[in-house]
């Protein structure tokens, strides 16, 4: 079984691509931070946000990945949580650093489809938004260079079908 992360800044098209993959029968893990935000938990109102996010990430992955023989696609992952901890100057949850390299491939979508919606929802300044996307990529690249545990790809397309086509070609789907 291979864990494949779909990463990128907010509004890059990750969830749309994950839904596209799910519709084609692949196992997918939804974005955990969005699930927690929908439950009313966010960094602004909960000191244990990062621990709860990491715990939920692991339990959700385990429930979806259990018994998988092929590829499992993750909408964001612990890599994004690691970047968020770094940007927030918070210590990552125990075990997160060891968990980050547990992927076979990471695809970073270098595009922004709807930053305005995200910026309003997160009350984030545009510079912070761009900084967060860069930080995610930096952390992905750093682990890739230091550990060499996953293959890192940059996707420059802006259409879901083109993104899927590139991933399918790389993974021989």
Q: Where are the domains of the chain?
A: 2-171
Chain Cα centroid distance, residue 32? 9
CA distance 112 to 133: 10
107/166 Cα distance (integer angstroms) = 10
Over residues 28-85, the pLDDT tens digits come to 998 887 777 777 766 555 557 777 777 888 888 888 878 778 899 999 887 667 666 6
pLDDT digits (tens, 9 = 90+) for 84-118: 666 666 776 666 666 655 778 888 887 655 545 44
Q: What is the pLDDT of residue 121?
A: 46
Residues in a beta bridge with 155: 109
Structure tokens at 116: 């305005």
CATH superfamily for domain 2-171:
P-loop containing nucleotide triphosphate hydrolases (3.40.50.300)
Report how far residue 102's alpha carbon sits from residue 147's, in angstroms, rounded to the nearest whole number: 11
Task: Tell me what pLDDT residue 17 has.
Answer: 92
Q: Which one, of 125, 145, 130, 22, lies nearest residue 72 by Cα?
A: 22
What is the pLDDT, as a whole number, of residue 118?
47
Structure tokens that stand for 80 in this block: 């994004």
Q: What is the pLDDT of residue 171?
A: 93
pTM for the full predicted model: 0.77
């Amino acid at each position: 079984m291979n864990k494949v992360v779909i990463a990128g800044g907010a509004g890059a098209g990750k969830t749309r691509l994950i839904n596209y993959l799910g519709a084609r029968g692949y196992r997918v893990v939804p974005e955990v931070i969005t699930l927690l935000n929908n439950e009313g938990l966010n960094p602004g109102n909960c000191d244990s946000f990062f621990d709860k996010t990491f715990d939920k990430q692991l339990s959700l992955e385990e429930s979806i990945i259990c018994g998988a023989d092929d590829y499992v696609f993750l909408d964001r992952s612990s890599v994004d949580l690691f970047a968020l901890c770094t940007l927030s100057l918070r210590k990552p949850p125990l075990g997160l650093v060891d968990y980050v390299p547990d992927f076979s491939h990471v695809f970073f979508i270098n595009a922004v489809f709807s930053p305005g919606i995200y910026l309003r929802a997160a009350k984030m300044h545009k510079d912070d938004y761009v900084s967060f996307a860069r930080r995610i990529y930096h952390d992905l690249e750093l682990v890739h260079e230091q550990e060499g545990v996953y293959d890192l790809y940059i996707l420059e397309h802006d259409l879901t079908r083109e993104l899927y086509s590139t991933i399918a070609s790389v993974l021989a789907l």
